[in-house]
């Protein structure tokens, strides 16, 4: 390849990357703030129209999210899992690949963690050291299993031209069905009336420091932040990350410049699945302590799509976006217990946030009308 051809290919890649980074940080923050504020305003109008006190409802939202240590811990619990699953989605979306299968990869990762720990537990000493080693091996097993499960639709897309949206959606059902069958049958805990595995040993748990909450550890949240930092560095500061982004948006140009676009797509989906596996491991160890029917473990993988959209598919932006959605989930739990306001109104507000984020041009046009940003685009 001549220098001129190489320069032209690199220019094409640069323009492809610009499509991903076409919003400034301030514009992204403004978009998220405007989406959230407008969604909340419309939600309050709906609450008032339904005959409830909107001021009281707003107070419940804030008290249920951060009103005390218990509410804050509950919010951070949701935030931790949403951060990890949100980053998993953002990796793929940022590279132009649509991984709708994070829920399935999350389930595979969590189940693999529990099975691995239960299998290895007799080989390790009881106590803190044994517990830490078991958690490490369980998490590594989740990363491998979920990464492989994510790689499958990547391979089908790269080498068989299969639509990754369809394959990842279908693999969600496969994961839930197979794991549900195994939990119900071969891996069901002895004497369990519910379809659950055996519980993890008591010493296999994250310490409850700062917040005295049985379902949350600040170390789990710290681990999520560490994953965010690592992914952000890989995506923005390494050749692998650059190739992942550009291959998704300009496969022909990437190939022309010497990048193996097919292999990069598989790498993208594998990395996305690996992060989803970490999410599954943290959920199983920090929150459940066993594994149950995956139909009831929550929809974190699907909620992560909304989180990633709000964050503009930016790994760093996933953290505040997850905090917002985690706060709303926590508020929903509080409202359902302490008031007669339908908790579905919280779901409606979340849906409105996603709707407004999915139509960014509405806000871009409004900004141009009043002379704020984007006018020169």
Domain containing 102 equals 3-369
d(CA 96, CA 104): 20
Give phi and psi for 203, each to the nearest 5.
Answer: -80, -5
State the average pLDDT for the chain.
85
Residue 290, domain member (yes or no): yes
Residue 196's DSSP bridge partners are 292
Say if 377 falls within a structural domain. Answer: no
Q: Kindly report the CATH number assigned to the domain that includes residue 187.
A: 1.10.3470
Question: Does residue 94 belong to any structural domain of this protein?
Answer: yes
Instruction: Answer yes or no: is 299 within a domain.
Output: yes
pLDDT band at residue 289 under the 50/70/90 scheme: very high
The answer to whether residues 196 and 188 touch, using CB atoms and an 8 Å cutoff, is yes
Band the pLDDT of 217: cuts 50, 70, 90: very high
Q: Which two tokens stand for residue 185?
A: 């049958």
Q: Is residue 263 part of a domain?
A: yes
The total of structural domains in the chain comes to 1
Of 12 and 109, more confident: 109
Check whether 275 has a pLDDT greater than 70.
Answer: yes
CA–CA gap between residue 315 and residue 313 (Å, rounded): 6
Q: Is residue 224 part of a domain?
A: yes
Report yes or no: 267 and 244 within 8 Å, Cβ to Cβ. yes
- Provide the pLDDT for residue 210: 87
More confident residue, 99 or 259: 99
What mean pLDDT comes out for the span 64-93? 95
Q: Is there a domain that residue 374 lies in?
A: no
Q: Assess if residue 376 is contained within a domain.
A: no
Please give the backbone phi and psi of residue 316, each rounded to the nearest 5 degrees, phi first. -70, -35
Kindly write down the DSSP assignment for every residue of 97-156, as one continuous string.
-----HHHHHHHHHHHHHHHHHHHGGGS-SSHHHHHHHHHHHHHHHHHHHHHHHHHHHHH
């Amino acid at each position: 390849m001549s220098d001129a051809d190489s320069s032209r290919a690199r220019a094409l890649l640069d323009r492809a990357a610009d499509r991903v980074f076409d919003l400034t940080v301030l514009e992204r923050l403004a978009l998220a703030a405007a989406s959230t504020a407008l969604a909340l305003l419309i939600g309050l109008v709906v609450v008032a129209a339904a005959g409830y006190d909107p001021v009281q409802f707003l107070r419940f939202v804030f008290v249920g999210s951060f009103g005390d240590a218990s509410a804050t811990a509950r919010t951070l619990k949701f935030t931790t899992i949403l951060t990890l699953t949100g980053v998993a989605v953002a990796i793929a979306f940022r590279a132009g690949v649509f991984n709708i299968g994070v829920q399935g990869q999350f389930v595979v990762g969590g189940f693999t963690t529990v099975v691995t720990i239960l299998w290895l537990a007799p080989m390790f000493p009881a106590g803190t050291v044994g517990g830490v080693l078991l958690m490490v091996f369980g998490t590594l097993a989740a990363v491998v299993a979920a990464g492989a499960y994510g790689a499958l639709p990547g391979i089908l897309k790269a080498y068989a031209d299969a639509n990754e949206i369809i394959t990842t959606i279908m693999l969600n059902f496969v994961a839930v069905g197979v794991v549900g069958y195994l939990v119900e049958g071969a891996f069901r805990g002895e004497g369990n009336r519910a379809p659950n595995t055996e519980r993890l040993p008591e010493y296999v748990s994250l310490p409850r420091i700062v917040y005295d909450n049985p379902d949350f550890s600040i170390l789990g949240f710290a681990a999520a932040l560490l994953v965010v930092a690592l992914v952000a560095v890989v995506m923005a500061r390494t050749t692998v990350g650059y190739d992942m982004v550009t291959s998704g948006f300009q496969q022909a140009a990437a190939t022309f410049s010497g990048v193996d676009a097919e292999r990069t797509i598989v790498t993208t989906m594998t990395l996305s699945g690996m992060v989803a596996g970490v999410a599954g491991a943290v959920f199983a160890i920090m929150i459940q302590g066993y594994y149950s029917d995956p139909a009831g473990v929550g929809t974190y993988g699907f909620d992560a799509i909304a989180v990633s959209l709000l964050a503009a598919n930016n790994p760093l932006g996933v953290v505040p976006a997850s905090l917002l959605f985690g706060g709303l989930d926590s508020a929903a739990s509080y409202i359902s217990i302490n008031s007669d306001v339908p908790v579905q109104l919280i779901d409606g507000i979340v849906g409105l946030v996603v709707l407004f984020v999915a139509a960014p041009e509405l806000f871009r046009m409004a900004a141009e009308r009043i002379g704020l940003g984007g006018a020169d685009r």
